[in-house]
Structure 1
C-alpha cells in the first residue's frame, strides 16, 4: 500500500541565532517553529512523521511530545545524512516522502498538499518546491531547459552569470519516491568544503539515472522563508501576525489597527468582538462574542466569555464570565474566576480568587486567595491580607455583604452573608450573618492644638 510520509529536519543548532535556545524552539506568534511545521503536516493525515533531532534533542521532544517519531543525528554531517538517519523506519515503505525543515514556520498544509498532488500528476521520482524570489541572493537556483524541464539545482556560489540571474529558487522542501530517496542517499558523497552530505545532491543523482525530476512553483515566496537569524525571525513573526489577523477579521472580528495588534497562533475569538490597538492575545486564550478588548490590554492563556469588556488591563491564566468588565489598569493574576456581571474597576488586583455574580470592586483594591459571593460591594482600598510571611490563607465572604473602604481582612477569615465591615477596619475575627465588624480607634479631638505647632506663626 502506498503511503505518505514526512521527515522534519530539526537537528541544526542555529549558531546565527546567537542564542542558548535551540533554533527550532524559537517562537513565531507564540508557537515554536517546529510546532508550526508539524501542525501543518498533521493536517495531511500522514502515515509516518519523523523528526530528526540533534543538538537540544530532549527539549524538542519535550516541546512537541509523541506527535512524531524521532531519530537522532548526533553529528551535524549535513541534510543528506540527517534524512538517511530515518532509513530504519522508512526505507522499505512504498509511497512518497516529504522532506521539510523545522525552521520554515510559514509553510502551509495547502502548499504541502499541492506539492504532493503535483508530484503524483507528473509521475516524478523527485519534486522540488520552488518560488520566485524578489532577491534570490544566496538561494540555490532552479535551472530548467527550453521545455521547462528541471535540469539541476545550482548553488549561488557556483552559478554562472546567466544562472545567477534566475529568480526561481530552491526552497529546500522536496517530495520523493520513498525507496528511490534512500537508494540515492547511498550515492551521496561529502567531497565538499564542509565535508557534509547534502540532500540537494540526491536531485542530481536521480536526474542522472534518467528519472523524472519536477518542480512545483508556489505563488507566495514569503511562505518559504527559513529562519536562520533574529532578523528572519522578526520577519516571520510579522508575516504570521498579518496572516492571523486577516483570519480573525474574515471571521467577524473587528481589529482597529492590525499593524499594532498581536494575536498568537491558536487564539480563538468570537464574532463581533472588537480588538483595539496595542492589544496582545497570547497562546491559549479564548474570547467570546461581542467583547471589547481595550487598547494595550494583555490576555494570557485565559477564557473570556461573551459581552466582556477589558479596558487597558492584564489577564493571565484566568476566566471572566458573561457581561463582566475590568479596568482600566487592573490585573487578574493566575487562577482568578470572575463571575457574571462582576465589575472590577481601575487599579485593582485579583489573585487565585473566585468572585461571584454581581459583585463590584470599584478601585484600588486587592483580593487574593478568596471566594467572594454574589452582590458584594468592595470599597476603595480594601486589602485581603492573605500572606503571613510563610503561608497563604483563605478568606470567604458571603453574599450581599458590604466591605467598607480601606478595610483590611486578615486571613484566614469567614465572613458570613449580609455582613457589614466598617470603613477603615482591620478585621481578624470571623463575622456571623447580619453582623457588623468595626475595628478602629475612637476619634479624639485636641482643642486648640494647631496654635501649639512650632511652625505656626499666627
Structure 2
C-alpha cells in the first residue's frame, strides 16, 4: 500500500451527548471511541495521523499526549471540508494517500481503509465509502453506477426526490492522493442549504474536472455515527456482540452470551467457561480452563489455568489467581495473590496480600490493610489455615502450615506450624439465661396488664 496519512475530524460540539466530556472520548468497551479508530488505523502504519479539533480541543490534546498524533484546530467551524483543510499544515511535505473520516464513527476497520486505498490509482482520483442502511434517514447520497463509478454526491438537504430514492449513502470517509486532495478542498464552495463547506464536494469537484471517482461499499454497522447517548449504547451493544462471537469462535463457552460484557483488552484462553451476568473491566487476562461463575466483576485481574471465580466475586486491579486457585461467593481481592491451589471460598476480603499455595482462607476473613494513612501487606504461608471470622491486621506474616483459630484478631506474626488463638476467655453462668427469661416474661406481662386497665378507664 502507498504511504498513508489519516485525518480524523472531531471538531463538532457534540451537543446531543449532553456531556462535559468530548464526544469522541466517550468509551465503547472501556476504550474511547477515538482510540478505536486510532488503533484500527495503526494496523496500516500511517506516516501521520491528524485529529482536527474545535470545541474542547484541550481534552483531545491531553488524551493523545502519549500517541503519535497531531491535533489541529478548526476555529470557527465552517463545515467538514473546512475542517479537513485544517490538517494541511500538519501534513506539509507529505506525499501519499490522505484519508479523511469522522471521529464519531469508531468501527471503521483497517481492511476497509485498505480497500479504499487500493481503489485510488492513476485513473481514480478519489474513493469514497458508501453503505446501504435499512433506513436512509437524512444521510447524504452517493449516485453511482452498478460498477461503483460515482456521478454525483449530494447532501440530503440538497437532494431532489429522485436522488433521495437512492439507497447508497455516504459514510463521510474519503481518500485521495495528497497531490489532489488539498487542491480539491480549496475549490469547495458553500453554496448549499446550510452555507457550509461540505467534504463530499471534494468528490463532486473531481467529477466536474473529469476525474474518476469510485465508491467502495461496506456494512452499515461499520460506519454508524454516534451523536447521542442512545447511539452510544447501540454501538456498545454492537461491539459487545462482535466480541462475544469472537470469544466463542476462539473456544470460550458462555451459557448466556448476551449477559456477558467485555472490555476492549480482555484476554481469554481456550476452554474458559463464563456463566451469566459477568462483567470484565479493563486489564483482565484469563488462562485456559478457567471458570468464571455468575454475577462476578473482574478488573485488572490475572487468572491462571484451572482457576475458579465466583459466583458474586469481585476481583479488583492487581488480583492474581495462580493455577487451580479458587474464590467463591462474595470474595473480594485487590492487589492480592492467591497461590497455586489456595482457596477463599466465601465472604472474604484479601487486600495487599500474598497467600501461599494450598492455603485455606475461612469465611469472614479480612486483611486489615489500611490504617487511615498507609496500606500494609499481609503474607500467608503455604498450607496455612485461617479460621472463619478472623481479622489479620497488617503488616503481619502467617507462617507455612500455621493455624489461626476462628474469631481471632491477629496483629503479630505467626510462626510456621503455630496455632494462634486470639479470643477473650469464655464466661459461663449456669441458669443465668433461665432466670433472665423468667424476669423479662413477668415484666412484659405486667406491662400488658397495666395497659389493659388504662384502656378500661
Q: What is the TM-score of this pair, normalised by structure 1? A: 0.88
Pairing 1:86–2:87 present: yes
Provide the C-alpha distance between the structure 2 equivalents of 1:91 and 1:427, rounded to a whole number of angstroms. Answer: 68
Match of 1:449 in 2: 432
Provide the C-alpha distance between the structure 2 equivalents of 1:420 and 1:295, rounded to a whole number of angstroms. Answer: 32
Task: Quote the offset at 1:135 in angstroms.
Answer: 0.7
- The within-5 A match list for 1:382-401 is 385-401=368-384
Native 8 Å contact 1:93 1:179 kept in 2: no
Task: Quote the offset at 1:308 in angstroms.
Answer: 1.0
Pairing 1:257–2:235 present: no
Native 8 Å contact 2:353 2:377 kept in 1: no
Task: Quote the offset at 1:274 in angstroms.
Answer: 1.1
Structure 1: gaps spanning 5 or more residues: 368-384
Native 8 Å contact 2:148 2:215 kept in 1: no
* Residues 51 and 344 (structure 1), Cα distance of their counterparts in 2 relative to 1, 3 Å cut: same
- The within-5 A match list for 1:356-371 is 356-367=356-367
Match of 2:103 in 1: 102
Task: Quote the offset at 1:62 in angstroms.
Answer: 3.2
Native 8 Å contact 2:158 2:192 kept in 1: no
Task: Quote the offset at 1:405 in angstroms.
Answer: 3.5
Query: CA deviation digits over 1:412-445, x for unaligned, max 9?
Result: 4444445444443434444445554444333332
Match of 1:270 in 2: 269
SS at match of 1:262: coil
* Residues 142 and 435 (structure 1), Cα distance of their counterparts in 2 relative to 1, 3 Å cut: closer
Provide the C-alpha distance between the structure 2 equivalents of 1:445 and 1:94, rounded to a whole number of angstroms. Answer: 91
Provide the C-alpha distance between the structure 1 equivalents of 2:133 and 2:85, rounded to a whole number of angstroms. Answer: 30
Native 8 Å contact 2:268 2:288 kept in 1: yes
Match of 1:118 in 2: 119
Native 8 Å contact 1:28 1:237 kept in 2: yes
* Residues 256 and 441 (structure 1), Cα distance of their counterparts in 2 relative to 1, 3 Å cut: closer
* Residues 271 and 231 (structure 1), Cα distance of their counterparts in 2 relative to 1, 3 Å cut: same
Match of 1:307 in 2: 306
Native 8 Å contact 1:2 1:94 kept in 2: no
- The within-5 A match list for 1:295-444 is 295-312=294-311, 313-317=313-317, 318-333=319-334, 335-367=335-367, 385-444=368-427
SS at match of 1:125: strand
Task: Quote the offset at 1:68 in angstroms.
Answer: 2.0
* Residues 84 and 215 (structure 1), Cα distance of their counterparts in 2 relative to 1, 3 Å cut: same
Native 8 Å contact 1:450 1:456 kept in 2: no
Q: What is the TM-score of this pair, normalised by structure 2? A: 0.89
Native 8 Å contact 1:425 1:440 kept in 2: yes
Task: Quote the offset at 1:303 in angstroms.
Answer: 1.4
What's the C-alpha RMSD, in Å, of the aligned pairs? 2.4
Provide the C-alpha distance between the structure 2 equivalents of 1:214 and 1:54, rounded to a whole number of angstroms. Answer: 30
Moved more, 402-411 or 354-363: 402-411
Query: CA deviation digits over 1:149-176, x for unaligned, max 9?
Result: 3121122222222111111000100111
Native 8 Å contact 1:4 1:97 kept in 2: yes
Number of residue pairs aligned between Structure 1 and Structure 2: 438
Task: Quote the offset at 1:129 in angstroms.
Answer: 0.5
* Residues 363 and 267 (structure 1), Cα distance of their counterparts in 2 relative to 1, 3 Å cut: same
Provide the C-alpha distance between the structure 2 equivalents of 1:174 and 1:13, rounded to a whole number of angstroms. Answer: 22
Match of 2:39 in 1: 39
Query: CA deviation digits over 1:17-56, x for unaligned, max 9?
Result: 1111100001111111111111111111222222222323
SS at match of 1:87: coil
Provide the C-alpha distance between the structure 1 equivalents of 2:316 and 2:397, rounded to a whole number of angstroms. Answer: 27
* Residues 34 and 433 (structure 1), Cα distance of their counterparts in 2 relative to 1, 3 Å cut: closer
Native 8 Å contact 1:273 1:289 kept in 2: yes
Pairing 1:287–2:286 present: yes
* Residues 221 and 439 (structure 1), Cα distance of their counterparts in 2 relative to 1, 3 Å cut: closer
Provide the C-alpha distance between the structure 1 equivalents of 2:23 and 2:43, rounded to a whole number of angstroms. Answer: 24
* Residues 399 and 190 (structure 1), Cα distance of their counterparts in 2 relative to 1, 3 Å cut: same
Native 8 Å contact 2:305 2:323 kept in 1: yes
* Residues 424 and 184 (structure 1), Cα distance of their counterparts in 2 relative to 1, 3 Å cut: closer
* Residues 101 and 448 (structure 1), Cα distance of their counterparts in 2 relative to 1, 3 Å cut: same
Task: Quote the offset at 1:66 in angstroms.
Answer: 2.0
* Residues 266 and 159 (structure 1), Cα distance of their counterparts in 2 relative to 1, 3 Å cut: same
Task: Quote the offset at 1:141 in angstroms.
Answer: 1.0
Query: CA deviation digits over 1:112-134, x for unaligned, max 9?
Result: 111111233x8311111111121
Query: CA deviation digits over 1:56-113, x for unaligned, max 9?
Result: 3333233333232222224322211211111123254332111111111111111111
SS at match of 1:44: coil
Match of 1:380 in 2: none
* Residues 392 and 285 (structure 1), Cα distance of their counterparts in 2 relative to 1, 3 Å cut: closer
Moved more, 173-182 or 447-456: 447-456
Moved more, 150-159 or 414-423: 414-423
Match of 2:12 in 1: 12
SS at match of 1:440: coil
